[in-house]
Amino acid sequence: MIALIYISIVIATVVAMEFVAWFAHKYLMHGILWSWHEDHHKPHYDKEGFWEKNDLFFLVFAIPSATCYIVGLNSPYVFLLFVGIGISIYGLIYFLIHDVYIHRRFKWFRQLDNKYSRAILRAHGTHHAVTTKDDCESFGLLAVDAKYYLSRKEMKAGEQDTSK
Ligand SMILES: [Zn+2]
Ligand SMILES: [Zn+2]
């Protein structure tokens, strides 16, 4: 029974992290911390080397998860350990989808070809279509607006419908 509760905490944390990541991206990275995120919105040919300043956010997000591990292992609040595991799992998913699959920083795998992977790609592509702090859309990664599931053709048709 207790194992089930811990597994639920891990899953709930992973889901909640998508919201946390969306919030941080929209209000911090495109807010007061834009100077760290800016280079991630620059075209690839403007970049030098492998690292982006934007990668500092991996360290930032490691702080709450490390804190959860330390407190969870050293206090009666054992559930925090599973919150920490959830944050780590989300971080790993984020890295694999955002950095490996979308931005191809490592050539580990190239093609995921299904409706969901294409929707993620499109939504994040729309986010990167703007290279400035303001006017961006789709700040989440895994929770994708329904419109990105449509093919380009269907999207165009939809736009024409609304303009009528
Ligand atoms: Zn951004
Ligand atoms: Zn990106």
Q: What does the alpha-carbon distance between residue 87 and residue 71 come to, in Å, rounded to a whole number?
A: 14
- Bigger pLDDT: 114 or 43? 114
Tell me the residue range of the domain where 106 lies. 2-163
Residue 30 has a pLDDT of 96
Q: What does the alpha-carbon distance between residue 144 and residue 117 come to, in Å, rounded to a whole number?
A: 10
Please state the rounded mean pLDDT for residues 90-101.
95
Which ligand is closest to the CA of 98, given by its number?
2
**pLDDT beyond 90 at 85:** yes
Which ligand is closest to the CA of 52, given by its number?
2
Which ligand is closest to the CA of 133, given by its number?
1
**Nearest Cα to Cα of residue 126 among 108, 107, 147:** 147
Q: How far is the CA of 1 from the centre of ligand 2 (A)?
A: 40
Q: How far is the CA of 87 from the centre of ligand 2 (A)?
A: 19
Q: Tokens 């834009």 — which residue?
A: 34
User: Each residue of 43-61: pLDDT tens digit?
Assistant: 776 777 889 999 999 999 8
Angle between helices 56-74 and 79-94 (to 10 degrees): 160
**pLDDT beyond 70 at 158:** no
Domain count, the chain: 1
User: Each residue of 13-35: pLDDT tens digit?
Assistant: 999 999 999 999 999 999 999 99
Q: What does the alpha-carbon distance between residue 16 and residue 5 come to, in Å, rounded to a whole number?
A: 16
